[in-house]
Amino acid sequence: MDVCMRAIRIRHSQSIGSPGCIIRIIRILNGAVVGAAPLFQTNKMHLMYYTGADGKRCYTLKKEDPTGKPSHSAHPARFSPDDKFSKERITTKKRFNLLPTQHPDPLYQ
């Protein structure tokens, strides 16, 4: 806690439980304050692949294949593990009945 107090530089007029202080603590923890490293970091796994000697895809988390050539992203074109707003996008589509599962099945003739 002492380390956080020094990093945040709480004013004497603010108590630890005040909303302004709590917001500053959250920003420090998330790394949103300029010059402060985040205390909690989430590791994103970017699945990559390279073509092996037999012509099949070999999946890895490394950015280069064993020969030193760069590997390719194994994620679909419009998908990113770093997408921070995917939950909000799904929620909005649910609200306005835009999800494919909310429509009746198409009639084929």
Structural domain including 13 reads 1-41
Task: Report if residue 74 sits inside a domain.
Answer: yes
Contact present, 47 and 74 (Cβ < 8 Å): yes
The number of folded domains in the chain is 2
Task: Report if residue 5 sits inside a domain.
Answer: yes
Helix (H) or strand (E) segment spanning residue 4: helix 2-8
For residue 56, the 8-state DSSP code is -
54 and 91 together in one domain: yes
Strands (E) in the chain, as ranges, are 48-51, 57-60, 72-73
Band of residue 2 on the pLDDT scale cut at 50, 70, 90? very low
Task: Report if residue 109 sits inside a domain.
Answer: no
35 and 54 together in one domain: no
Distance CA(39)–CA(26), nearest Å, equals 10
Task: Report if residue 107 sits inside a domain.
Answer: no
pLDDT tens for each residue of 15-41: 555 666 666 666 666 655 555 555 555
Distance CA(27)–CA(13), nearest Å, equals 20
